[in-house]
Amino acid sequence: MNLQSAVGVALRALLLNRERSLLTVLGIIIGVAAVIVTVAIGAGARASIESTIGSLGSNLVVILPGSTATGGVNVGIGSASTLTVGDGLAIAQQVRHAAAVTPLVVLRTQPISQYSNWQTSVAGVSPAWPFVRSWAVGSGSFFNDTDVDTSAKVCVIGTTVQTQLFPNDEDPVGQMVEINNVPFRIVGVLTSHGHSMIGTDQDDVIVIPYSSLLQRLSTSANGPDIVGALAVSVDASQNVTRTISAISQLLRTRHRIVPPHSDDFQVRDLADIARAASAAGVMLQILLASIATVSLIVGGIGIMNIMLVSVTERTREIGLRMAVGAPAQAILLQFLVESVVLSVVGGGIGIVVGVIASGIAAHFGHFPFTVSIPTVFLALLFSAAIGIGFGFYPARKAAHLDPIVALHAE
Amino acid sequence: MTPTIQTRDLTRLFTTGKTVLAAVDHVTFALQPGEFAAIMGPSGSGKSTFMNLIGCLDRATSGRYALDGTDVSTLSADQLAALRRQELGFVFQQYNLLPRTSALQNVELPMVYASVGPAERRTRARQALIDVGLDEDHHRSNPHELSGGQQQRVAIARALVNNPRLMLADEPTGALDSKTSAEIMKLFLRLNRERNLTILMVTHELDVARYSNRIVSFLDGRIVSDEPVVRAAAAS
């Protein structure tokens, strides 16, 4: 008996017991589907984290002011808002690997266009900001150093702000927008940056020169050169750690901090946070993969179980096949092929279910939908291996039946 | 002429605990080509064990058995399977047809293991069913749609489809009424006469046994009588 007719015989036998066959392969279906979804979610999460890291800017270091709560009342006077425009300029000039520096001052406000109004964040930054954040201007241009020097009333808007303030699709470049009753001319529109790691819309922003924000819009009592944060782009990733300590050193000197006083600022490497998130993604993937493995093993045991039942039920048939001259090997092959067909069909259904589930997960999880072809083949191969592995014992049992006993079984 | 079956002191012992039972006890027997013999005997007389040995389904404890001149005691399990496939055809009391499988496919089964191509299988299976008197309306019926007599005809077609030298029938009429039994026995007779098919049949019923040429009686694992049947001319 050749393999082709063995597959035919196996398919016939399985189709005769459609319901039972389907229930038997449920474990394999779930297992394979789980593998496909796991890989899809993993790949999606990785892609999403990578794009977030990319969107944060290359080798980004962020300097935040120290918290006033630290150390209770003993915090030095005036150290709550400690970072100044001058700190940023000093870092740009004196720290060797600081390729670009931008201050960051954020104001939550309600800009108005001639058509509409929209609550958003207005960020005061330097012309180095697009480079630091790896964020290009889509149309128009970014403002320059002269605009900063003159506290020019110019702004660059994000795509979300564009659609909200200019709902009629016209080009906003050159148009005016009022921010806290001060008219700003739009000189550029940023490219879309999508959602951040924590799900906020990064495109919901207006960027203006920091000097314009500090001098024309700021209502805070902090003074005209206090900034919310400083963002520094380091020239190469291997220099990040060195640069962090150089910045800390410089700021300690500038802020006249000597032991035992603690720093009134924090320097953070944002890519580190992204890497931590990526590691969490890997953990999630390992967890899902273990569940999938357990499910596949349970599925395999299910197949073994039902094949043993099948061998018992069909003992007479096996006896008859032996009597008409089937060698033991043909009986072994018949039942082995049956369990392999069972598990591969289950694997096939599992792939379809898994791809559909990944599509749904990608849709609701906001990550790119990918189906990895090697994974699909691996899943099929794995389910075939389960069929052979767990089908071998029942098949061997069938092949070693005594034909006389088998023929007279009830 | 080489006998189809030749046994010498064929013995099959069964051991349960400390008891040793000789189900077949030093049986010496020969069946010539073209003979049609019936084996009779009460339950436990060893006739079924003897049939299993003759059918190469079981191995003798001692003694010799040559099937068509070939000593089977030295053959491997696969060689015995090949022998069953090529030289032997089995007919059982309970027909042993595959359920939910058409008559044609049941008859094709032995040819599947004999590596006959699908087209030839179909042709030969159809011819075999016609030869045993099952008309074509029933060729695609499943066993449960057929009467007992029709099922046994399918089983006989299956036994003959590989052109065996010997047909072994274990209580072939045991599940049939007397009218159908007579029809099946007439079919046996016809196959025996027209094709010179050698038949060895186990039966309880003397009426059935009398269709054969020779009645062999077993008792306690031994042959106690072996006589030709003197038949009245009306039998066929």
Q: What pLDDT was estimated at residue A186?
A: 93
Q: What pLDDT was estimated at residue A79?
A: 43
Kindly indicate the confidence band of residue A13, based on its pLDDT and cuts at 50, 70 and 90.
Answer: confident
Whether B112 and A317 lie within 8 Å, measured CB to CB: no
Which pair of tokens denotes residue A182?
């001060």
Give the pLDDT mean for A367-386.
83
Among the ranges given (A376-380, B64-68, B72-76, B200-204), the one the predictor scored with the smallest mean pLDDT:
A376-380
3-state secondary structure chain A: CCHHHHHHHHHHHHHHCHHHHHHHCHHHHHHHHHHHHHHHHHHHHHHHHHHHHHHHCCCEEEEEECCCCCCHHHCCCCCCCCCEHHHHHHHHHHCCCEEEEEEEEEEEECCECCCCECCEEEEEECCCHHHHCCCCEEEECCCCHHHHHCCCCEEEECHHHHHHHCCCCCCCCCCEEEECCEEEEEEEEECCCCECCCCCECCCEEEEEHHHHHHHHCCCCCCCCECCEEEEEECCHHHHHHHHHHHHHHHHHHCCCCCCCCCCEEEEEHHHHHHHHHHHHHHHHHHHHHHHHHHHHHHHHHHHHHHHHHHHHCHHHHHHHHHCCCCHHHHHHHHHHHHHHHHHHHHHHHHHHHHHHHHHHHHHHCCCCCCCHHHHHHHHHHHHHHHHHHHHHHHHHHHCCCHHHHHCCC
**Using an 8 Å Cβ cutoff, are B235 and B203 in contact?**
no
Measured between CA atoms, how close is B57 to chain A, in angstroms? 6
Q: What pLDDT was estimated at residue A220?
A: 62
CB neighbourhood size of B169 (10 A): 26
Q: What pLDDT was estimated at residue B233?
A: 52
Instruction: Provide DSSP, B59-90.
Output: --SEEEEEETTEEGGG--HHHHHHHHHHHEEE
Measured between CA atoms, how close is B145 to chain A, in angstroms? 17
Kindly indicate the confidence band of residue A20, based on its pLDDT and cuts at 50, 70 and 90.
Answer: confident
Whether A404 and B115 lie within 8 Å, measured CB to CB: no
Count of alpha carbons within 13 Å of A178, Cβ hemisphere only?
9
Among candidates A317, A326, A407 on the partner chain, residue whose Cβ is nearest the Cβ of B113? A326
Q: Residues B196-205: pLDDT tens digits?
A: 999 999 998 9
Residue A75 has pLDDT above 50, yes or no: no
Whether A323 and B85 lie within 8 Å, measured CB to CB: no
**Using an 8 Å Cβ cutoff, are A361 and A272 in contact?**
no
Q: What pLDDT was estimated at residue A76?
A: 44
**Using an 8 Å Cβ cutoff, are B87 and B166 in contact?**
yes
Which pair of tokens denotes residue A293?
């493995």
Substitution target in A324, A331, A337, A405 with the highest count of B β-carbons within 10 Å is A324
Q: In whole angstroms, what is the distance from residue A136 CA to residue A156 CA? A: 11
CA distances from A249 to A67, A243, A271 (A): 19, 10, 21
- ∠ Cα B92 B95 B101 (to 5°): 145
Substitution target in B102, B105, B113 with the highest count of A β-carbons within 10 Å is B113
Distance from the Cα of residue B220 to its chain's centroid: 22
Q: In whole angstroms, what is the distance from residue A288 CA to residue A300 CA? A: 18
Q: Is A327 on the interface with B (CB under 8 A)?
A: yes
Among the ranges given (A345-359, B44-58, B221-235), the one the predictor scored with the smallest mean pLDDT:
B221-235
Among candidates B77, B113, B115 on the partner chain, residue whose Cβ is nearest the Cβ of A324? B113
E strand or H helix that includes residue B129: helix B118-131
Which residues in chain B touch residue A9, judged by CB atoms under 8 angstroms apart? Answer: 112
Q: Is A279 on the interface with B (CB under 8 A)?
A: no
Measured between CA atoms, how close is A407 to chain B, in angstroms? 8
Whether A325 and B162 lie within 8 Å, measured CB to CB: yes
Q: What pLDDT was estimated at residue A361?
A: 83
Q: Residues A234-281: pLDDT tens digits?
A: 888 778 888 888 998 898 888 888 877 777 888 888 766 666 767 777
Kindly indicate the confidence band of residue A58, based on its pLDDT and cuts at 50, 70 and 90.
Answer: low
For chain B, percent of residues with pLDDT exceeding 90: 85
Substitution target in B87, B100, B106, B112 with the highest count of A β-carbons within 10 Å is B112
First-to-last alpha carbon distance for chain A, in angstroms, is: 27
Which residues in chain A touch residue B100, judged by CB atoms under 8 angstroms apart? Answer: 16
Closest chain A residue to B85, measured at CA:
A325
**Using an 8 Å Cβ cutoff, are A47 and A59 in contact?**
no
Q: In whole angstroms, what is the distance from residue A303 CA to residue A27 CA? A: 9
Instruction: Provide DSSP, B13-41.
Output: EEEETTEEEEEEEEEEEEE-TT-EEEEE-
| Chain A residues 4-43 within an 8 A CB cutoff of chain B | 5, 9, 16
Kindly indicate the confidence band of residue A391, based on its pLDDT and cuts at 50, 70 and 90.
Answer: very high
Q: What DSSP designation does B115 have?
A: T
Average pLDDT, chain A: 84
Measured between CA atoms, how close is B30 to chain A, in angstroms? 22
Among candidates A5, A16, A325 on the partner chain, residue whose Cβ is nearest the Cβ of B82? A325
Distance from the Cα of residue A312 to its chain's centroid: 50
CA distances from A102 to A30, A159, B128 (A): 51, 22, 94
Coil vs helix vs strand at B92: coil
Q: Is B57 on the interface with A (CB under 8 A)?
A: yes
- ∠ Cα B29 B35 B41 (to 5°): 55
Q: What pLDDT was estimated at residue B125?
A: 95
Give the pLDDT mean for B28-39.
95
Q: Is B163 on the interface with A (CB under 8 A)?
A: no
Q: In whole angstroms, what is the distance from residue A167 CA to residue A157 CA? A: 14
Q: How many residues appear in chain B?
A: 236
Q: In whole angstroms, what is the distance from residue B71 CA to residue B29 CA? A: 14
Q: What is the ipTM of this complex?
A: 0.91
Average pLDDT, chain B: 92
Q: What DSSP designation does B141 have?
A: -
Which residues in chain B touch residue A16, judged by CB atoms under 8 angstroms apart? Answer: 100
Measured between CA atoms, how close is B84 to chain A, in angstroms? 5
Q: Is B151 on the interface with A (CB under 8 A)?
A: no
Q: Residues B181-195: pLDDT tens digits?
A: 999 999 999 999 999
pLDDT: is A123 or A257 the higher one? A123
For chain B, percent of residues with pLDDT exceeding 70: 97
Q: Residues A93-121: pLDDT tens digits?
A: 888 888 899 998 888 889 998 888 899 99
Q: Is A322 on the interface with B (CB under 8 A)?
A: yes
Q: Residues A125-136: pLDDT tens digits?
A: 999 998 888 888
Whether B113 and A5 lie within 8 Å, measured CB to CB: no
Q: Residues A174-228: pLDDT tens digits?
A: 999 999 889 999 999 999 887 766 667 888 999 999 999 888 887 665 667 888 8
Residue B211 has pLDDT above 70, yes or no: yes
Q: Is A87 on the interface with B (CB under 8 A)?
A: no
CB pairs under 8 A between A and B: 62
Among the ranges given (A169-173, A305-309, B92-96), the one the predictor scored with the smallest mean pLDDT:
A169-173
Substitution target in B52, B56, B92, B96 with the highest count of A β-carbons within 10 Å is B96
Kindly indicate the confidence band of residue A383, based on its pLDDT and cuts at 50, 70 and 90.
Answer: confident
Kindly indicate the confidence band of residue B79, based on its pLDDT and cuts at 50, 70 and 90.
Answer: very high
Q: Residues A318-354: pLDDT tens digits?
A: 999 999 999 999 899 989 999 998 899 999 999 999 9
Give the pLDDT mean for A381-399.
92
Among candidates A16, A316, A329 on the partner chain, residue whose Cβ is nearest the Cβ of B100? A16
E strand or H helix that includes residue B6: strand B5-16
For chain A, percent of residues with pLDDT exceeding 70: 90
Among the ranges given (A65-69, A80-84, A304-308), the one the predictor scored with the smallest mean pLDDT:
A65-69
